A = this chain, B = another copy of it.
């Protein structure tokens, strides 16, 4: 099944690219790789949540944020290469989670991105991942997600 078909089945519409919040590009192709910028969980121009997981932000909300940020990364890729069916492999996902020092369930939060990518890309969506708890993210977003994909 094509990625486009899977997205339709999931009821997911790839959004417009979120404009970078500073002097960089949403996605860049180099050889057979596309790199995305670190994506924040913006939806319709609004960040889905702000604050730290373990304090103001629940695991559930943070997990949704990881999914949204991954979707925004797909939007950046689609905008660059024209068609997500050209993605041969989701290679790597990094999920930064703004965390209080005692919150240690970053892998669960990051699954919001990983499981979504698995649903959309199937076998091609199987990736390596680093999930890291950081003190704070841009605009106080709870999650930032970057991708490396092979095209």
A135 within 8 A of B: yes
Q: How far, in angstroms, from A85 to B126 measured CA to CA in the complex?
A: 25
Number of copies of this chain that the complex holds: 3
Given B36, B91, B93, B133, which contacts A136 in the complex, CB threshold below 8 Å?
B133
CB <8 Å contact, A22 and B131: yes
CB <8 Å contact, B126 and A93: no
Cβ contacts A137-151/B at 8 Å (1 or 0 each): 111100010101010
Residues of B within 8 A of A38 (CB): 129-132
CB <8 Å contact, A114 and B22: yes
A115 within 8 A of B: yes
Interface SS of A by simple majority: mixed
Residues of B within 8 A of A135 (CB): 99-101, 133-135
Q: Known interface pairs A23-B115, A99-B135, A136-B133. Does A36 touch B128 (Cβ–Cβ under 8 Å)? A: yes
CB <8 Å contact, A104 and B137: yes
CB <8 Å contact, B30 and A130: no
Q: Which chain B residue lies CB-closest to A88?
A: B30
Q: Known interface pairs A91-B28, A92-B35, A126-B28. Does A138 touch B131 (Cβ–Cβ under 8 Å)? A: yes
Rounded to whole Å, the gap between the CB of A124 and the closest CB of chain B is: 11
Task: For the complex of A and B, list the 7 residue pairs with the smallest distance between their C-beta atoms, beginning with the closest.
Answer: A38-B130, A133-B136, A24-B129, A22-B107, A37-B128, A23-B114, A30-B150
